[in-house]
Amino acid sequence: MSATPPATPTIVLVGHGMVGQRFLEALAERGLTATHRVVVLCEEPRPAYDRVQLTSYFSGRTPEDLSLTDPGFLADHGIELHLGDPAETIDRAARTVTARSGLTVGYDVLVLATGSYPFVPPVPHKDATGCFVYRTVEDLLAIEEYARTRAATGAVVGGGLLGLEAAGALKGLGLNAHIVEFAPRLMPVQVDDGGGTALLRTIEGMGLTVHTGVGTQEIVVDATGAVTGMKLSDGSELATDLVVFSAGVRPRDQLARAAGLTVGERGGIAVDERCRTVSDPHVFAIGECALASDGRVYGLVAPGYEQAETAAAAIAGDASSFTGADLSTKLKLLGVDVASFGDAHGTAEGCLDVVYSDSRAGLYKKLVIGRDGTLLGGILVGDAEAYGTLRALTGSVPPVSPESLVLPAGADAGDRLGPSALPDEAIICSCHNVSKGTIRGAVTEHRCTTVPEVKKCTRAGTGCGSCVKVLGQLVDAELEASGIEVDKGLCGCFSQTREELYEIVRALRITSYQELLDRHGREDARGGDGCEVCKPAVGSVIASLAPAIGASGYVLDGEQAALQDTNDHFLANLQKNGSYSVVPRIPGGEIAPEKLIVIGEIARDFGLYTKITGGQRIDMFGARVEQLPSIWARLVDAGFESGHAYGKALRTVKSCVGSTWCRYGVQDSVRMAIDLELRYRGLRSPHKLKSAVSGCARECAEAQSKDFGVIATANGWNLYVGGNGGAAPRHADLLAQDLSDAELVRLIDRFLMFYIRTADRLERTSTWLERIPGGLEHVRDVVVHDALGICDELEKLMRAHVANYRDEWAETVNDPEKLARFVSFVNAPDTPDPVVSFVPERDQIKPDLPLLAIGLRPADDVLEGSAQR
């Protein structure tokens, strides 16, 4: 006999993960939290958090940063959340749920969002000390502690999405990382053999060891029961101290099974199109625990969100159904973009492939095309820039040829495939199933004028974030089509772009950020303090124009000091444990023995970690902030100067040995590299600048991956511009060829000053060259042919910079007032920061990262991943 339902209808939610939280939001949106008692039983000790971004914890994000529950949401809607108290039994006859604590709650509607659990292969010693799964924040905390204290090598069982993230986390913790994947390629579900090959090459290039086509037969342990290795199916044995199982997940349906609910043969709680269980109309199941009516268990968050919406609508009595979902994914794994969409593996009868592959650059792009020209799906590895547009076009015939969508030579296709080319029914945000028409409606009907407003109105862009760029394009296009001027201002403080502010500063000779804000800022920003966007951007503009406008070029003079980012503030790069790096300039990589000895003595005396970088410098890591002046005083005395590793400025000009030593060299590349580095040192710009000079066409200095690169020819020098070897690789374009020394320097002067003048904040030359109207041809017209008549002015600005260059550290160590800033604690200047500690590794040191330091956020350069080069 069933219990009498309580006076106030009660909804019980079991599980408070991402899908559970979305279900609660859907209830609130429909007003059900005001008419029902809502009780949540949660196994984990914390509210819902972003499990998709779990690995970002190792990049400095705290569990609080990952939270998906807005402060006050639960209280505002009267939702009762019981953390650390999972449901243990369901009495369907009495309609009650009993939790581990003994709490029993009656329900009118029960919603199961129990998610999934990691599959651990049934191998011997799978539960040994040092074996982990990778699923929750608590798992990460345990892995981190074990890796810090007991491991030097780690192995991940599974080369899928989560397995690659786990391997990246182990590498980030300082372990030698291995990936063991039973399938013949990485990410076998998402990519094909070609994509797997490109991904493998890139990941191995990062220092991870990959074993594909082999399985794990046994975990090897020592006498204490701790992991010492793994036996693999090919007969080999892998030495490892730590094992992470990431071999897939299974639906958590045990609670439902025990309650007599119908489950699938391979797991999953069987539900109908409204996400109601097929065996009990009072019970729903959503997310990774649910077996949908199409016979599939969906392991992605977007289908889970759609199921949450469907269940909430059904409870409210609204018409809604879930009959399947888009399985498209876009992720950045170990810094590599990987995306798949639609029929990625080409299962449709008679379909054709369009493939572009560049194994050297780690790029692989495949489109699956129907015989009628319909775009059916695709795979993108290494460059997923076009993912948003391509996924939205899936199921239609693109307005351009398929080849132009993947070939680098077809870059102009991107202009024709703007927002206007997408049909209104195209899904822009797959996480929340938001179409282009809905986004247009948010602008035209709901008066949204910014991306944040459209996000709030439609939820588009609030999931994985892969659609945000297309979302911004749609919002701007719709505003312009409606005759509304699009605000392209630098930030909320200035309505002008960075380029416009540059011209204002130059023309009016404004030397103060506050003066610029008060005279030219938005009305409501004048008299204020500015923001974190415009302050460093304007500081950079003033610094780059300093000689021409009569300002101090020293970034820590007066007001300028308050405008700088963390790195510039201390003229050093902040590292993950709170210490700093010291990077003296070594022009062209050439250094005399006496200077090498000085660096060695300083590193020894201060106990610093030393590393020779890809930019031909020697970095020293581990300096406490109060040690920086003493270290630099010795370096300055020895003739060194700042290498500007911390600044948005020129970093290095790399070189090969050139014609002086190499039998293939045709020009003196070392001399040219040194001349260029000394000319452009300290040049502040919208983003960092890297360069290289190769002494012949063999290109040993890799000049074509630099912001400006120089390659020797028998007749002089070829100049390449707009290259980038970072997260978004781009080959530089040939600007001019067979130049004399003087012609080369003159064109580089013009190119750099034109870039500084017209680029957006934090925009690399590679992005700027692709964005600026007219692209390379326009830049060539301006820089080579002086089409705008500004080259004399550009050259004059560069001459002023060269004539007025002063080494920042030389000025700092000789100024007691400036030295006063280099302390860990203002109120206790002689006290070192106790968080900054180290442990030995390979005859040097590495950061000792206690849990309390994990929340430290690296500065923007560190996040970018190439700050030291």
For residues 229 and 242, membership in a common domain is answered with yes
Contacts for 635 with CB less than 8 Å, ≥ 6 apart: 582, 584, 598, 599, 602, 809
pLDDT bucket at 274, cuts 50 / 70 / 90: very high
The 3-state DSSP class for residue 737 equals strand
| Residue of 761, 754, 794, 751 lying closest to 498 (CA atoms) | 761
Question: Which structure tokens are listed for 275?
Answer: 């996400």
pLDDT tens for each residue of 417-426:
556 677 787 7
Establish whether 696 is an annotated binding residue: yes
Domain end call among 205, 232, 247 = 247
Domain end call among 273, 291, 316 = 316
pLDDT tens for each residue of 37-51:
999 999 999 999 888
In terms of pLDDT, which residue wins out, 570 or 1?
Answer: 570
For residues 771 and 706, membership in a common domain is answered with yes
pLDDT at 294 over 70: yes
pLDDT at 322 over 80: yes
For residues 674 and 797, membership in a common domain is answered with yes
Rounded Cα–Cα distance for residues 285 and 86 (Å): 16
Do the domain assignments include residue 545? yes
Rounded Cα–Cα distance for residues 217 and 233 (Å): 6
For residues 687 and 741, membership in a common domain is answered with yes
For residues 100 and 140, membership in a common domain is answered with no
Do the domain assignments include residue 656? yes
Q: Which long-range contacts (CB under 8 A, 24 or more apart) does 293-299 make?
A: 293/322, 293/323, 294/323, 294/324, 295/264, 296/324, 297/251, 297/264, 297/267, 297/268, 298/325, 298/327, 299/116, 299/249
Do the domain assignments include residue 74? yes
* Beta carbons of 694 and 701 less than 8 angstroms apart: yes
pLDDT tens for each residue of 92-116:
999 999 999 999 999 999 999 999 9
Establish whether 351 is an annotated binding residue: no
Percent of the chain clearing pLDDT 90 (strictly above): 47
Rounded Cα–Cα distance for residues 153 and 220 (Å): 14
Do the domain assignments include residue 844? yes
The 3-state DSSP class for residue 647 equals coil
pLDDT value at residue 857: 34
pLDDT bucket at 859, cuts 50 / 70 / 90: very low
pLDDT tens for each residue of 142-190:
998 999 889 999 999 998 878 888 888 888 788 899 999 999 988 887 8
pLDDT at 860 over 50: no
Do the domain assignments include residue 596? yes
Lowest pLDDT segment from 584-593, 675-684, 808-817, 850-859: 850-859
Establish whether 431 is an annotated binding residue: no
For residues 628 and 660, membership in a common domain is answered with no
For residues 554 and 516, membership in a common domain is answered with yes
pLDDT bucket at 333, cuts 50 / 70 / 90: low
pLDDT bucket at 408, cuts 50 / 70 / 90: low
Rounded Cα–Cα distance for residues 234 and 214 (Å): 6
pLDDT at 76 over 50: yes
- CB atoms under 10 Å from CB of 269, counted, come to 30
Do the domain assignments include residue 270? yes
pLDDT tens for each residue of 744-753:
999 999 999 9
In terms of pLDDT, which residue wins out, 193 or 860?
Answer: 193
pLDDT value at residue 565: 63
pLDDT value at residue 334: 66
Lowest pLDDT segment from 28-32, 345-349, 482-486, 720-724: 482-486
**Which domain CATH number covers 99?**
3.50.50.60
Torsion of CA 757, 762, 767, 769, to 10 degrees: 10
For residues 684 and 782, membership in a common domain is answered with yes
Do the domain assignments include residue 378? no
When the pLDDT of each residue in the chain is averaged and rounded to a whole number, the result is 86
Percent of the chain clearing pLDDT 70 (strictly above): 91
For residues 837 and 764, membership in a common domain is answered with no
Name the domain count of the chain.
5
Domain end call among 758, 782, 806 = 806
Amino acid identity of 324?
Answer: G
pLDDT tens for each residue of 682-696:
999 999 999 999 999
For residues 722 and 843, membership in a common domain is answered with no
pLDDT tens for each residue of 363-404:
888 899 998 889 999 988 888 777 877 887 888 888 777 777
Q: Which domain holds residue 578?
A: 565-642+807-869
pLDDT value at residue 563: 65
Rounded Cα–Cα distance for residues 68 and 48 (Å): 6
Residue with structure tokens 């970088």?
A: 613
pLDDT at 575 over 90: no
Strands 104-106, 96-99: pairing kind: antiparallel
Do the domain assignments include residue 841? yes
pLDDT value at residue 606: 93
pLDDT bucket at 855, cuts 50 / 70 / 90: very low
Establish whether 656 is an annotated binding residue: yes
For residues 23 and 80, membership in a common domain is answered with yes
For residues 855 and 783, membership in a common domain is answered with no
Average pLDDT over residues 314-328: 84
